[in-house]
Amino acid sequence: MDAGVTCKIPDALVLTDDDADGGLPPDCENIPRTIIANNCIGGICHHTANKFQAPAGQLDLMSPCVADRLINKVSMCQGIVLIDPVHPEASFLLNKLEAETPICGEPMPWTGHLPPDQVRCMDIWVHAVAKAAQP
């Protein structure tokens, strides 16, 4: 994380076996800086490096505090919430990662589906973010 930046929900949110039925798959650590950084940032995707072009879907996944920008934020697709804090399983982010044909647009990442363990890590992370956002 950048020095001086305080996130409501930390980028390095610690996932535990309590967050996952049946335990955590391997490599479910610091999801924003591993799975998201390696699969969602770059090219024409969700980054802010190109000051002349907005990130795809107006969604910056590169800057610190990723979860803060996703939780309870309305997507550009039919008003569906990116990460729904009440019903995380209905989050648009998961729909884009898990569905063969998402509600809107193409499945993500555009290079092809994530391996099953990474999809499971993302699902666990979305649920943990939703839990962390609860008062």
pLDDT the model gives residue 81: 96
Residue 124: Cβ within 10 Å count: 22
Q: What is the arithmetic mean of pLDDT over 101-114?
A: 86
User: Model pTM?
Assistant: 0.84
Residue 96 pLDDT > 70, yes or no? yes
Q: Helix (H, G, I), strand (E, B), or coil: what is residue 15?
A: coil
Q: What is the arithmetic mean of pLDDT over 78-107?
A: 94
Query: Rounded to an integer, what distance in angstroms lies between the CA atom of residue 82 and that of residue 94?
Result: 8
Radius of gyration of the chain from its Cα atoms, rounded to whole angstroms: 14
Q: Which two tokens stand for residue 95?
A: 């729909």
Q: Which residue has the tokens 């290079």?
A: 111
Query: Which of the residue ranges 27-31, 54-58, 92-96 would you say has the lowest mean pLDDT?
Result: 54-58
The tens digit of pLDDT for each residue in 11-45 reads 889 888 777 777 788 788 888 888 877 877 665 56
pLDDT the model gives residue 49: 56
Helices (H), 1-135: 35-39, 66-70, 92-98, 116-133
Query: Rounded to an integer, what distance in angstroms lies between the CA atom of residue 113 and that of residue 100?
Result: 9
Q: What is the arithmetic mean of pLDDT over 62-84?
A: 92
Question: In whole numbers, what is the pLDDT of the chain averaged over residues?
Answer: 83
Residue 114 pLDDT > 70, yes or no? yes
- Phi/psi for 70 (5° steps) reads -100, -30
